[in-house]
Amino acid sequence: MAFMRKIKDRYYAVMKLADGRQKSIALKTCNEREAKQRLRKIQEVEVMIKSRIASESDLRDLLGIDSESGFQIGQLIPKYIKSCKNRLSTSTEKRYEESLNEVIRLFGKHFDIRHFKPKDYDVLLNGLKNSTRINKKTKKRELRFSSTTINIILRAVKTFFYWASDNGYIENGLPFKIKQIKIENVLPRFLTDSQVSALLKSCESQPIIQAVFRVYLGTGMRLGELPGSKLLDGNYLYIYSDKTKTERYVPIHPELIADYILVKDRSLSQSYSTHRFLHYKKKAGLPENLTFHSLRHTYAVKHWLSCGDIKMTKDALGHTLLKTTEIYTKLPKDYLLSVCNVNRKATAAKRLTVPIAIPRIEYAQLN
């Protein structure tokens, strides 16, 4: 007779099959009372199957799996994405969907999730590494995914398989071991003071865009953190991160408050802000490898140079691990001081962090 087992706060029914093997079935609840009720239903169907009154298809119906097609990744992936709503940020949800569409591209939408074998990991990894596209500018063929992007896709695949296991579509967790591929340590790309001036000067006729750049340069927020931020008394920002599910408090320079209020009220999309950065980066003649995220790197460099304490910089950036922040210490400090003008007065022990001032460039006044 089927019995119940609890694994990591989730309940499973364990059945003994005719061939002697055990089958674990996710009861899809963390509530013990609900789990016991669902277990009894499975036990009833189990008795009927042994008495040949019912078949395994009845058990699939009980589990919410209509037919064999219910195991096809083309149907399961949309179900998983739907389950992510209200749990992940919109941008993360979209990234997961794009990542898992690569699995469908490589294996086909009719591929049965139960048929994945360890060797299929090589098919997945090689398919991602060798995927190419035509560059619209150069008209040359190039690789679609960097090593970093491949790792993002692999993380999405891993969470999808865990979801499939928790919901009874596959047994025993992952069908193959998913390893992050090695990435060379690339130093953070930041803007020097002269580059910041050039960027802000290039958009002087667009005060809202200039305000966007100034706010991110002066607060170090991730691109998606602005909607979850709030201005507090004492010139501080409360920031909630969808990425790390953490909260932090960051000081904001008084000169940036008007910019922050303007940008927050406009609710500009992430894609719009990114495209505007690319446009004005090109107009300002800045290096091609700079991205919108480079504004956050710029804040991090200035913060570390100002306070001299990498742990304080970690807290200001909202990093989970100190190791992530320590990459900034690998940049030559003499070089940083030569291209970044910072106030290096001794930081009092009581201060948790330091506000970053972004020098104003002559531009049309904000209204």
The contacts found for 335-341 with CB under 8 angstroms, 24 or more apart, are 336/301, 336/305, 337/305, 339/192, 339/193, 339/194, 340/192, 340/193, 340/301, 340/302, 340/305, 341/193
Q: Where in the chain is the domain with CATH 1.10.443.10?
A: 193-339
Q: Give the span between the Cα atoms of 245 and 153, in whole angstroms.
A: 20
Q: Would you state the structure tokens that stand for residue 89, as one six-digit string?
A: 């940020």
Instruction: State how far the alpha carbon of 211 is from the alpha carbons of 220, 250, 283, 341, in Å.
Output: 14, 18, 17, 21
User: Do residues 22 and 46 make contact, with C-beta atoms less than 8 angstroms apart?
Assistant: no
| Largest separation between any pair of C-alpha atoms in the chain | 85
Q: Cβ(220)–Cβ(246) under 8 Å?
A: no
113 with 71: CB under 8 angstroms?
A: yes
- DSSP E strands in 60-175: the ranges are 132-134, 141-143
- CATH 1.10.150 positions along the chain are 69-166
Q: Tell which CATH architecture fits domain 69-166.
A: Orthogonal Bundle (1.10)
Neighbour tally for 53: CB within 10 Å: 10
Q: Which of 287, 278, 258, 275 is nearest to 367 (CA)?
A: 258
**Sequential pLDDT tens for the chain (367 residues):** 888 888 767 788 888 766 677 777 777 677 788 788 888 888 887 787 777 776 666 665 655 544 455 789 999 999 999 988 877 777 788 899 999 999 999 999 999 998 999 999 999 999 999 999 998 878 899 999 989 899 999 999 999 999 998 887 887 678 889 988 887 777 899 999 999 999 999 999 999 999 999 999 999 999 989 988 999 987 899 999 877 778 999 999 999 999 999 999 998 999 999 999 999 999 999 999 999 999 999 999 999 988 889 999 999 999 989 998 999 988 888 888 888 877 654 443 333 345 565 654 433 333 2
| Beta-sheet strand order (sheet of 246-251) | 229-232, 236-241, 246-251
Strand-pairing partners, residue 142, are 133
Domain 193-339 CATH superfamily: Intergrase catalytic core (1.10.443.10)
- Which tokens go with 160? 């999808």
CA-CA-CA-CA dihedral for 215, 217, 218, 220, to nearest 10:
100
Distance of CA 176 to the CA centre of its chain: 23
